[in-house]
Amino acid sequence: MKISIPKTMATLALPLAMSASITAAATDGGIKVEHLGTNNTLVRVEGDGRYLMLPVQESNDDATINVLVDGRLDRTINVRLAKAKTDYSVPFDLSPYKGHDIVLNIVTSQNRASVREAKEDACWSNITLTDTIDTTNREKYRPVYHHTPLYGWMNDPNGMFYKDGEWHLCYQWNPYGSKWQNLSWGHSVSRDLINWEHRPDAVLAPDGLGMIFSGSSAIDTSGSAGFGKDAVIAMYTSAAASQVQSLAWSHDNGETFTKYPGNPVLTLESEARDPNMFWDAERNIWVLTLAHALDHEMLIYTSPDMKEWTLQSRFGRGLGAQDGVWECPDLFELPVDGSDRKKWVLLCNINPGGPFGGSATQYFTGDFDGKTFTPDTDAEGNVPTKWLDYGKDNYATVSFSDAPDSRRTVIGWMSNWQYAAEVPTRQFRSANTLPREIELFTADDGQVYAASVPSPETEALRGKLTQNVGRAGIGKKPRSYALPSANDGVCEILLDIEAPKSKNVTMTLGNKEGEHVTLTYDVAANTLSFDRRESGITDFSQDFPAVTTTPVFGQNGHLELRLFIDRSSIEVFANGGRGVMTNLVFPTVPYSTLSLKSDGGNAKIKNLKIYSIGI
Q: Which helix (H) or strand (E) holds 323?
A: none
Peptide bond into 264 cis (omega under 30): yes
C-alpha R_g of the chain: 25
Q: The sheet that has 128-130: what strands, in order across it?
A: 88-93, 51-56, 128-130
What's the number of CA atoms in the CB half-sphere (13 Å) around residue 320? 30
Residue of minimal Cβ distance to ligand FRU = 213
Of 353, 394, 422, nearest in space to 153 by CA: 422
Residue 371 zone, left/alpha/beta (φ > 0; ψ -120 to 50; rest): alpha
Q: Which of residues 339-398 bind ligand FRU (CB under 6 A)?
A: 396
Binding-site size for ligand FRU (CB under 6 A) equals: 12
Q: Which of residues 408-427 bind ligand FRU (CB under 6 A)?
A: none
The 10 Å Cβ neighbour count of residue 253 is: 15
Kindly state the smallest distance separating residue 406's Cβ from ligand FRU, in Å.
Answer: 27
Smallest separation, CB 269 to ligand FRU (Å):
18
Which residue from 161, 171, 196, 213 is in contact with ligand FRU, where contact means CB under 6 A? 213
Can you say how many angstroms the Cα of residue 546 is from the centroid of all Cα atoms in its chain? 20
Residue 234 binding ligand FRU, by CB under 6 A: no
CB nearer ligand FRU, residue 19 or residue 418? 418
Binning the chain into helix, strand and coil, the percentages to the nearest 5 are: 5, 50, 45
Please report, as a single letter, which amino acid is at residue 102: I
Identity of the residue, 158 or 583, whose beta carbon is nearer to ligand FRU in the bound complex: 158
Contacts of 478 (CB under 8 A, 6+ apart): 508, 595, 596, 597
Q: Closest separation between CB of residue 243 and ligand FRU, Å? A: 8
Evaluate whether 480 touches 506 at the Cβ level (below 8 Å).
Answer: no
Shortest gap between Cβ of 327 and ligand FRU (angstroms)? 4
Q: Which is nearer to ligand FRU, 327 or 439 (CB)?
A: 327
From the CB of 228, what's the least distance to ligand FRU, in Å?
27
Binding residue (CB under 6 A) for ligand FRU from 155, 430, 526, 598: 155
Query: Does residue 237 touch ligand FRU according to CB under 6 A?
Result: yes
Question: Rounded to 5 degrees, what are φ and ψ at 379?
Answer: -60, -30
Nearer to ligand FRU, 126 or 181 (CB): 181
- Pick the closer one to ligand FRU by CB: 179 or 609: 179
| Length of the chain (residues) | 615
* H/E run at residue 464: strand 462-469
- 156 as an active site residue: the answer is yes
Q: Which is nearer to ligand FRU, 299 or 490 (CB)?
A: 299
Cα 183 versus chain centre, distance: 13
Backbone angles phi, psi at 59, to 5 degrees: -80, -10
* Separation between Cα atoms, residue 319 and residue 296, nearest integer Å: 9
Contacts 24+ apart (CB under 8 A), 276-282: 276/215, 276/216, 276/328, 276/329, 276/330, 276/331, 276/398, 277/216, 277/218, 277/235, 277/306, 278/216, 278/218, 278/331, 278/332, 278/401, 279/218, 279/220, 279/221, 280/370, 282/370
Residue 289 CB, shortest distance to ligand FRU, in Å, is: 13
Contact letters for ligand FRU, residues 298-337 (x by CB under 6 A): -----------------------------xx---------
Report the chain's terminal Cα–Cα distance, integer Å: 29
Q: What is the closest distance, in whole angstroms, from the C-beta atom of residue 102 to ligand FRU in the complex? A: 28
Residues 179-208 that bind ligand FRU (CB under 6 A): 183
Among candidate residues 62, 87, 121, 156, the one labeled active-site is: 156
| Closer to ligand FRU by Cβ: residue 327 or 389 | 327
Judged by phi (left if over 0) then psi (alpha if -120 to 50, else beta), residue 193 lies in: left
Judged by CB under 6 A, the chain residues 254 through 293 that form the site for ligand FRU are: 273-274
* Beta carbon nearer to ligand FRU, 273 or 597: 273
Quote the least distance from Cβ 411 to ligand FRU, whole Å. Answer: 13
- Minimal distance, residue 213 CB to ligand FRU, in Å: 3
Closer residue to ligand FRU (CB): 135 or 432: 432
- Under the binding rule (CB under 6 A), the answer on residue 172 touching ligand FRU is yes
Pairing between β-strand 448-454 and β-strand 558-566 as defined by DSSP bridges: unpaired
The letter for the amino acid at 589 is V
Indicate the burial class of 96 (C-beta count within 10 angstroms; 0-12, 13-18, 19 or more). Answer: exposed
Helices (H), 60-158: 115-119, 122-126
CB of 158 to ligand FRU, least distance (A): 7
- Residue partners of 303: CB distance under 8 A and separation at least 6: 285, 286, 288, 309, 310
Q: Which is nearer to ligand FRU, 180 or 481 (CB)?
A: 180
- For ligand FRU, give the closer residue by CB, 118 or 290: 290
DSSP structure string for 86-106: -SEEEEEE-GGGTTS-EEEEE
Alpha carbon distance 189, 198 (integer Å):
7
**Smallest separation (angstroms) from ligand FRU to the CB of 257:** 17
H or E stretch at 254: none
Q: Which of 87, 121, 139, 156 binds ligand FRU (CB under 6 A)?
A: 156
Show which residues are catalytic: 156
* Contact footprint for ligand FRU (CB under 6 A): 155-156, 172, 183, 213-214, 237, 273-274, 327-328, 396
